[in-house]
Amino acid sequence: MPATKKSSADLTAAPKRQHKAEAKAAAHPHGKVRPLTRIQREKQDVILEAALEVFSMHGFRGATIDQIAEVAGMSKPNLLYYFPRKEEIHRRLMAALLETWLAPLKEMDATGDPFPEIRSYIRRKLEMARDYPRESRLFANEMLQGAPRIIEMIELDLKNLVDEKAQVLLGWMDEGKLARTDPYHLIFSIWATTQHYADFDVQVRAVLGPSRNGEGRFEDAARYLEQLFMHGLTPKPAGR
């Protein structure tokens, strides 16, 4: 359960064919569109990893190419050889991020039972907050700024997925397997409580104090959230 570094390998590695070609064509003033070379692939990954580090802390405007280049261990012009503009790096990061971010919700299975399903959804989200805190912060940063660069994806992909899963939740409620409540706000509350441990990590650490700061705090959080949601969503026996 390593929570540090290298964590974005899977994220940065899946940028969607189309984008690759795009980036390539843009990155290289030379005419032809060729497959990426080994060095191109490696360096792009190094850059995206560094960019994740910097963007997730300072947001788009607050991050500088110099900074990213330094973290990536290369010169600024060299970095710009791979990604001709700052926005391009951010775009690639966000595109990959959204995929990863929605994956856990996608797994929630309508044919399963609500409590195991919701419980493991919470677990997965909490694990992501633990293992990919920078991704969580990158996302949060974008949201805070009004999501200018991903608003369409939010309004399409994300909204559709949530709509679909809200239906699943409503189904469970109709079957009396889940307390009747607002499925959208239910999903929001799971997002909020789990991502909190990545986004407000400093605060959580400061409040818990040095004594409770091992990875154990995630176990405690998991236990607490499980209790909260399982109790909170247990259906009342019809009457009263």
| Binding interface with DNA (CB under 7 A) | 28, 30, 34, 37-40, 43, 63-67, 74-78, 80-81, 84-87
Residue of the chain from 1, 8, 57, 168 that contacts a copy of itself (CB under 8 A): 57
Q: How many CA atoms lie within 13 A of 102 on its CB side?
A: 18
- Report the residue number, 39 or 202, with the smaller CB distance to DNA: 39
Does the footprint of a copy of itself cover residue 232 (CB under 8 A)? yes
Closest contact distance (angstroms) between CB of 212 and a copy of itself is 8
Supply the angle between the helices 216-232 and 183-199 in degrees, to the nearest 10.
Answer: 170
Scanning 37-45, 71-79, 119-127, 141-149 for contacts with a copy of itself by CB under 8 A, the matching segment is: 141-149
State the minimum distance, in angstroms, from the CB of residue 40 to a copy of itself: 30
Task: Provide the CA 198 distance to its chain's centre, in angstroms.
Answer: 10
Q: How far is the CB of 50 from DNA (least distance, A)?
A: 13
Does the footprint of a copy of itself cover residue 219 (CB under 8 A)?
no
How many beta carbons lie within 10 A of that of residue 25, not counting itself? Answer: 14
Question: Among the candidate windows 45-53, 68-76, 84-92, 157-165, which touches a copy of itself by CB under 8 A?
Answer: 157-165
Q: Binder to a copy of itself among 13, 14, 110, 144 (CB under 8 A)?
A: 144
* Residue 145 contact partner, candidates DNA, a copy of itself, none, CB within 5 to 8 A by sort of partner: a copy of itself
Size of the site for a copy of itself (CB under 8 A): 58
| Contact between 90 and 68 (Cβ < 8 Å) | no
Burial classification of residue 114, based on how many CB atoms lie within 10 Å of its CB (0-12 exposed, 13-18 middle, 19 or more buried): buried
DSSP state letter for 215: T
Task: Report the residue from 2, 29, 146, 237 that binds a copy of itself according to the rule CB under 8 A.
Answer: 146
**Alpha helices (H) in the chain, listed in sequence order:** 9-12, 17-27, 38-62, 65-72, 76-82, 86-107, 114-131, 133-144, 151-153, 159-174, 183-199, 201-208, 216-232
- How far out from the chain centre does Cα 175 lie? 32
Is residue 204 a contact residue for a copy of itself (CB under 8 A)? yes
Q: How far is the CB of 93 from DNA (least distance, A)?
A: 14
Q: Quote the least distance from Cβ 65 to DNA, whole Å.
A: 4
Angstrom distance (rounded) from CA 188 to CA 122: 12
Q: Which does 40 bind (CB under 5 to 8 A by kind): a copy of itself, DNA, none?
A: DNA
Structure tokens at 184: 């959208």
Q: Does 199 bind a copy of itself (CB under 8 A)?
A: yes
